[in-house]
Amino acid sequence: MKNFSEFTNSIKKYRVQLLATAVFVAALVIIAAFSGSRAVPEPLEVSDEPVVSQPAEESSAALAEGVGLYVDGAFVAACDSEEALAEAVASAARSYGLASDGAEEAAYSFANAISYESGEFAEEAFASQKDISAMLFSGTDYAGRPLAASLSVTSKKTYVIENVIEHGTRSVYTDSMYEGYMAVESEGADGVEAETYEVTLYNGVEVARELVSSETLVEPVEEVLRYGTKKYYGRTTVSIGTLHKPYDGYVSSGFGYRWGRMHNGIDLAQHGASCYGDPALCAADGVVTAAGYRGGYGNCVTVQHDDGMETLYAHLSRIGVEVGQELKAGDQIGNIGATGNVTGPHLHFEVYIDGVAVDPLLFLDYDFVIYD
Ligand SMILES: [Zn+2]
């Protein structure tokens, strides 16, 4: 082994050195193959010394005029022109992820000393621009040996990132609407902002990020919500008290004049989900006075309570009670549907006192009311 090292060190010609190495490796393989599976060849000694070389020197191989590329003084390969070598270097830099992800490439630089020298080089040291680029990226020279110093590429990229600017909400108050009612005065809209970042990468890995500029592309539009402040004066004068919610949804339409006609009750629906098929519940203890189909009400149930109060449940998909049946507050009277004159499934609920329709919200506590 020692003799072999001395032997190889004494030879400066790479071709001979490579050939000798190949022959030695082949011999080891053959010896290992013939001496059985127990034989483990000793590893080759590999020098840690950087390879700094002038391959044309003392070479008996054919020489050719060209330009040599050196990284930190170590020869990499030769090419026909310095332009081709410079492009190979640029291409290797781009291989570190530059300009491959939609970012704009700003600049790159090497910590290494890159130099080009004209002269005569062994023909085998010549390589194409593409191959030289690959050598630089993999950190090897034309003969596959590791370079003395690997490339240290610092690059800068510019990214433009678009962010949503969330719109704000402003509340206005009016005594022309009852307390607890809300209406959308004007719709809001989110804006868009473009942020430009300069990102610094070292060998393709981000090491720094700086916000260069920020620009508003689309201004956000403020949402305006109108809230009612008008008090329910009737609330304290009615003796019946609080009703059981016929459906625990939200009020999609209130009591009063709607689209030029009187809406005698409230519409109850579910936010973000269909209420179709959900149970409709009796609002107070009472007796069923009607249960059947009734024109625009569709499948409809009415229940008589104490204090001259009557409640009505309309547009049901199914009726689950009979006339004369006694009910407790919270008992199911049927299922919510879309029968009769409707645009979608909801529970239409009415309250009468001595035959006069009153706002059911006088007796119910819904947090979320949409007044349209
Ligand atoms: Zn209705």
Neighbours of 233 (CB within 10 A): 8
Indicate whether 268 and 358 sit together in one domain: yes
Cβ neighbours of residue 136 closer than 8 Å, sequence gap 6 or more: 71, 76, 88, 89, 92, 151
Kindly tell me the burial class for residue 241, based on how many C-beta atoms sit within 10 Å of its own C-beta (0-12, 13-18, 19 or more). exposed
Distance 182 CA to ligand 1 centre (A): 18
Does residue 231 lie within any of the structural domains? no
Side by side, the strands of the sheet bearing 114-122 are 74-79, 63-71, 114-122
- Residue 170: both structure tokens together: 């402003």
Distance 305 CA to ligand 1 centre (A): 21
Indicate whether 122 and 215 sit together in one domain: no
Indicate whether 173 and 126 sit together in one domain: no
Distance 350 CA to ligand 1 centre (A): 8
Q: Cα–Cα distance between 361 and 306 in angstroms, integer? A: 18
Distance 247 CA to ligand 1 centre (A): 14
Q: How many domains does the chain have?
A: 4
Among 117, 151, 185, give the residue marking a domain's end: 151
Task: Tell the residue number behind the tokens 């530059």, with chain if given.
Answer: 98
Does residue 275 lie within any of the structural domains? yes
210-249 per-position pLDDT tens digit: 999 999 999 999 999 888 777 654 433 344 557 999 998 8
244-291 per-position pLDDT tens digit: 999 988 888 888 766 566 788 999 998 778 999 999 999 999 999 999
- What's the Cα-to-Cα distance from 299 to each of 250, 258, 264, 318, rounded to whole Å? 21, 22, 17, 7
Q: Cα–Cα distance between 147 and 168 in angstroms, integer? A: 59
Indicate whether 326 and 242 sit together in one domain: yes
Indicate whether 242 and 356 sit together in one domain: yes
Indicate whether 250 and 292 sit together in one domain: yes
8-48 per-position pLDDT tens digit: 444 444 444 444 444 444 444 444 444 444 444 444 444 44
Q: Indicate the pLDDT class of residue 198, thresholds 50, 70 and 90.
A: confident
- Residue 38: both structure tokens together: 């127990």
Q: Cα–Cα distance between 217 and 193 in angstroms, integer? A: 5
Distance 272 CA to ligand 1 centre (A): 19
Indicate whether 12 and 85 sit together in one domain: no
CB 290 within 8 A of CB 305: no
Does residue 371 lie within any of the structural domains? no
Name the pTM for this structure: 0.39
Distance 370 CA to ligand 1 centre (A): 13
Indicate whether 75 and 34 sit together in one domain: no
CB 316 within 8 A of CB 337: yes
Picking from 220, 165, 227, the residue whose alpha carbon sits closest to that of residue 188 is 220
Indicate whether 207 and 275 sit together in one domain: no
Q: What is the CATH number of the domain that holds 182?
A: 2.20.230.10
Distance 178 CA to ligand 1 centre (A): 18
Task: Give the chain's largest Cα–Cα span.
Answer: 121
- DSSP codes, 274-315: --TTPEEE-SSSEEEEEEEE-GGG-EEEEEE-STTEEEEEEE
Q: Cα–Cα distance between 147 and 71 in angstroms, integer? A: 8
The residue range of the domain holding 177 is 159-225
Distance 263 CA to ligand 1 centre (A): 6
Q: Cα–Cα distance between 148 and 146 in angstroms, integer? A: 6
